[in-house]
């Protein structure tokens, strides 16, 4: 099991990044959250099996069709045992 905090930079707000992220994370059975940051980034935390977390991080590097991802920063975080995946504000 693994939990990561991800910060995504580029044209990632206003392009359904959060909605796409929620859909994909739920399909993969991950726990965590996603939100828009006030500086234009999208931030998320993903918790689950290591290989599945890697699949989600790979999705973040592409994003939904209208996104343009410039950079994805990933840092390891502490497991919380969180369940479900949601948008937070």
Catalytic hit among 3, 18, 24, 41: 18
pTM over 0.85: yes
Which residues 6+ apart lie within 8 Å of 39 measured at CB?
A: none
pLDDT at 39: 97
- Evaluate whether 82 touches 47 at the Cβ level (below 8 Å): yes
36 is catalytic: yes
Catalytic hit among 2, 11, 35, 36: 36
Domains (ranges, CATH) in the chain?
A: 2-78 (3.30.70.100)
18 is catalytic: yes
pLDDT in tens, the chain (89 residues): 999 999 999 999 999 999 999 999 999 999 999 999 999 999 999 999 999 999 999 999 999 999 999 999 999 999 999 999 999 98
Q: Which residues pair with 68 in a beta bridge?
A: 11
């Amino acid at each position: 099991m693994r939990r990561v905090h991800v910060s995504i930079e580029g044209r990632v707000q206003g392009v359904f990044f959060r909605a796409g992220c929620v859909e994909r994370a739920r399909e993969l059975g991950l726990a965590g959250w996603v939100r828009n940051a006030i500086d234009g980034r999208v931030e998320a935390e993903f918790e689950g099996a290591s290989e599945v977390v890697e699949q989600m991080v790979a999705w973040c590097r592409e994003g939904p069709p209208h996104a343009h991802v410039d950079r994805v920063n990933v840092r390891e975080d502490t497991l919380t045992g969180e369940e479900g995946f949601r948008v937070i504000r």
